[in-house]
Amino acid sequence: MSDLTRMTATEIAALVAGGEISAVEVTRAHLDRIAAVDDRVHAFLHVDTEGALAAAGAVDERRAAGEELGPLAGVPVAVKDVLATRGVPTTVGSKILEGWRPPYDATIVQRLRDAGTVMLGKTNMDEFAMGSSTEYSAYGPTHNPWDLSRIPGGSGGGSAAALAAYEAPLAIGSDTGGSIRQPGAVTGTVGAKPTYGGTSRYGLVAFSSSLDTPGPCARNVLDAALLHQVIGGHDPRDSTSIPQPVPDVVAAAKLGATGDLTGVRLGIVSEFVGEGAEPGVMTAFRESVDALTKMGAEIVEISCPTFAYALPAYYLIAPSECSSNLARFDGVRFGLRVGDDGNRSLEEVMSLTRETGFGPEVKRRIMIGTYALSSGYYDAYYGQAQKVRTLITRDFTAAFEQVDALISPTTPSVAFPIGARTADPYQMYLADLYTIPTNLYGGPGISVPCGLSEGLPVGLQVMAPTMADDRMYRVAAALESAVGTFTPPAL
Amino acid sequence: MAAISREEVAHLARLSRLAVTEEELDTFAGQLDVILQAVAQVGEVAAADIPPTSHSVPLTNIFREDVVTPCLTPQEVLSGAPDAEDQRFRVPRILSEDVAS
């Protein structure tokens, strides 16, 4: 294996800026690695060899011309296939968009280009980001580099697996109920969900618009913070974008890395350390709590009783929004059209197109959402779920009056075997038990590797108040300085 | 008792514009029933006087400056369409035969 693929983004950027390696060399090393392992991992749906080498070449030219380069210039990035990329196929893991090449870039993709990062390609995901294992991708599952027979999490399993397999040093994900953090946890990588509105949704294929949050994925906390800084911040093209600067997450990550948490108060969510989690997950979590205490953090337990209802509320709110958002896939403006034989009506063609183009989980969620929004059920389901959302927000607000951040395991279990939960959709939903409350509240959350259980990675989640993303980076970086990073067995 | 019947699932599929098969109806009816019974737990929370939250960011209407900015060309806009004609999206027949005649 080439050493270049083992480097951190921070190291690569420094070497490129100093002229010690070229961005083209770095890019080729990662493209070679993808060619060598991705037939087994299947992290990528599309590799943009030509575009990547051209972008890398442009960085090298700018450096040669003496131009100032950004902090991540020349660093390869893998982008979840949920973001529109101009001229580069964007499928959202669905057959309904197979072959679509967007005529524009998502804001985040534009910012990645402006920063001189090199987009390697598009990563696999559960169809429309609905799933927790990447098995609901219409293009086949991604395999966890720690054990190829296991899931890499989802929906952003492709991005997380690309990092763990050393196919990319940085990746972009999107988190609606845990789709960045849960894959991070089960692949031993770092995944951060920014504050809702802290990263632009322009060009992100919509699933649940009040929850969808794109964010950074990396192999270490500082790299994630650097990527967060590049992609975050106000975007006039997204009406829910927060018109404030990104908190200084890079400085917070560097502060945390000193290993000093004196004066920091952390709350363990009582509801998430009970019988629901696997013993191995709890052991790693408890050891991490000890490490945080040794670094000076003051730790208390805090009860957030309504968090127990976050999962059912989420699985009403997200499907409701999805049933509305996915109405745009009507076989008219983009993507698939089926059965247009000149005799069938628009409605028949639409129904055949959607039947053929959507997979089973997407259909289930559209129907659940349609049910929850229909008259007669609205108050008991969608309306009630929105009230529960208010109560969950109040639990967070009350907790943050007592502590700076909340912590919990990221997931109840380590990576499960491929195929273990596909027959029982609700079992699949339980993988997001601990990550969902943050999405309903809108605050930031990060998963950082905290140990191994039976040879598989365990993640610790840090949840912070809205627009206090810097706090979670500080705690995560401190933990990382104590427990280190985790390397999967050679592929 | 089941929360949802096979017939109701067929109705939802129709509303959702999904031409589901008979086999899918059998599978979905069971799965949606499990899911709906689980999510119905939200009803256990006493929340009668609690205001709903639709969104975590306090939103007011946001207006942009009314200035002309560059946009996609018709060719770019239609580039992903399954069918186009005269710079427009072409759609299948909207009216049924008897209405049209």
CATH code: domain of residue A438: 3.90.1300.10
Confidence of residue A160 (pLDDT cuts 50, 70, 90): very high
User: Among the options A22, A132, A137, A179, which is catalytic?
Assistant: A179
**pLDDT of A77 higher than 90:** yes
**pLDDT of A412 higher than 70:** yes
C-alpha of A290 from chain center: 27
What is the per-residue pLDDT for B99? 55
Element (H, E) at A349: helix A346-357
Q: Which residue do the tokens 């906390």 mark?
A: A221
A155 is a catalytic site residue:
yes
| Lowest mean per-residue pLDDT among A345-354, A406-415, A438-447, B85-94 | B85-94
- Mode of pairing for the β-strands spanning A456-463 and A445-453: antiparallel
Q: Is residue A90 part of a domain?
A: yes
What is the per-residue pLDDT for A262? 98
Across the interface, of B9, B20, B41, the residue whose CB is closest to A309 is B41
Q: Is residue A118 part of a domain?
A: yes
Write out the DSSP string of A60-89: HHHHHTTPPPPTTTT-EEEEETTB-BTTB-
Contacts of A196 in chain B (CB under 8 A): 56-57
pTM: predicted TM-score of the whole model, two decimal places: 0.97
- Each residue's pLDDT tens digit, A28-45: 999 999 999 999 999 999
Give how far A297 is from chain B: nearest CA, Å. Answer: 29
- CA geometry: angle at A167 spanning A73 and A56, to 5°? 30
**Chain A, window 5-44: residues with a beta carbon less than 8 angstroms from a chain B beta carbon:** none
Size of interface A-B (CB pairs under 8 A): 183
Q: Is residue A42 part of a domain?
A: yes
Q: Is B71 exposed, middle or buried (0-12, 13-18, 19+ CB in 10 A)?
A: exposed
CA–CA gap between residue B63 and residue A126 (Å, rounded): 35
What is the per-residue pLDDT for B101? 45
Give how far A331 is from chain B: nearest CA, Å. Answer: 7
Q: Is the peptide bond before A155 cis (omega within 30 degrees of 0)?
A: yes
Give how far A381 is from chain B: nearest CA, Å. Answer: 7
Axis-axis angle for helices A249-256, A469-483 (nearest 10): 30
**pLDDT of A118 higher than 70:** yes
Element (H, E) at A10: helix A9-17
Does the CB of A100 have a partner CB in chain B at under 8 Å? yes
What is the per-residue pLDDT for A229? 98
**pLDDT of A372 higher than 60:** yes
Q: Which of A85, A175, A328, A388 to mutate to test the interface with B (most CBs of B within 10 A)?
A: A388
A80 is a catalytic site residue:
yes
Give how far A487 is from chain B: nearest CA, Å. Answer: 37
- Each residue's pLDDT tens digit, A228-264: 999 999 999 999 999 999 999 999 999 999 999 999 9
What is the per-residue pLDDT for A29? 98
Contacts of B4 in chain A (CB under 8 A): 371
**pLDDT of A2 higher than 70:** no
Backbone angles phi, psi at A47, to 5 degrees: -110, 125
CB contact under 8 A, A102 and B80: yes
Confidence of residue B63 (pLDDT cuts 50, 70, 90): confident
- What total of structural domains would you count in chain A? 1
Instruction: Provide mean pLDDT across the span A157-169.
Output: 98
**pLDDT of B3 higher than 90:** no
What is the per-residue pLDDT for A1? 43
Q: Is residue A333 part of a domain?
A: no
Q: Is residue A374 part of a domain?
A: no
Q: Give the 3-state secondary structure of residue A141.
A: coil
Domain coverage including residue A199: 3-267+293-299+403-483
Instruction: Provide mean pLDDT across the span A136-165.
Output: 98
Q: Is residue A335 part of a domain?
A: no
**pLDDT of B57 higher than 90:** no
Contacts of A323 in chain B (CB under 8 A): 16
